[in-house]
Amino acid sequence: MVKNIILISAAAMTFVLSGCSSKEPLYNYGDYSQEYYNYKKNMSPETQLELQKAIEQAIEDADDGSSDRVAPGMYANLGYIYLKTGNTKMAKQNFIKEKTLYPEATHFMDRLIQKIDALEGDTDEK
């Protein structure tokens, strides 16, 4: 009787714990973490370009890989890089993509998009 309880308990624990293991990553980061660290350590146009390339590659790889999800904030970060370089069209596209994939970012992305629209409105009037 005791052996049966131990055996059933061990089987149940094995079943429960095997459901928790995941072999596939939830998000695709690519080289983003390392390039972000490099950028923060040495903020320069070169490291910013490397960060941009790493994000773009992670997004591309997510479409082709087993984890077809880009981590939250990656589109927003890429959009911010585009915004800093003056490419408001690409910035806006990435902010829209971020809020589409991650609705919890909608309020923040909408505010950034409104600021871009205001900037574009100011340049149109001049």
pLDDT tens by residue, 72-100 = 899 999 999 999 999 999 999 999 999 99
> Mean pLDDT throughout 4-33?
67
pLDDT of res. 95: 96
Question: Is residue 21 in a domain?
Answer: no
Judge whether 67 and 28 are in contact, CB under 8 Å.
yes
Backbone phi, psi, residue 66, to 5°: -75, -35
Q: Of 48, 70, 46, 47, which Cα lies nearest the Cα of 57?
A: 70
The letter for the amino acid at 12 is A
Higher-pLDDT residue of 107 and 27 is 107
Structure tokens at 64: 């082709």
Question: Is residue 74 in a domain?
Answer: yes
Which domain covers residue 80, as residue numbers? 28-125
Question: Is residue 93 in a domain?
Answer: yes
Average pLDDT, the chain: 82
Query: Which domain CATH number covers 69?
Result: 1.25.40
Question: Is residue 76 in a domain?
Answer: yes
Q: How confident is the model at residue 126 (pLDDT cuts 50, 70, 90)?
A: very low
Question: Is residue 43 in a domain?
Answer: yes
pLDDT of res. 79: 95
21 pLDDT higher than 90: no
Question: Is residue 52 in a domain?
Answer: yes
**Number of domains forming the structure of the chain:** 1
CA distances from 100 to 47, 58, 95, 104 (A): 28, 18, 9, 9
> Mean pLDDT throughout 47-74?
82
pLDDT of res. 23: 61
What single-letter DSSP state applies at residue 66?
S
Judge whether 113 and 96 are in contact, CB under 8 Å.
yes
Question: Is residue 96 in a domain?
Answer: yes
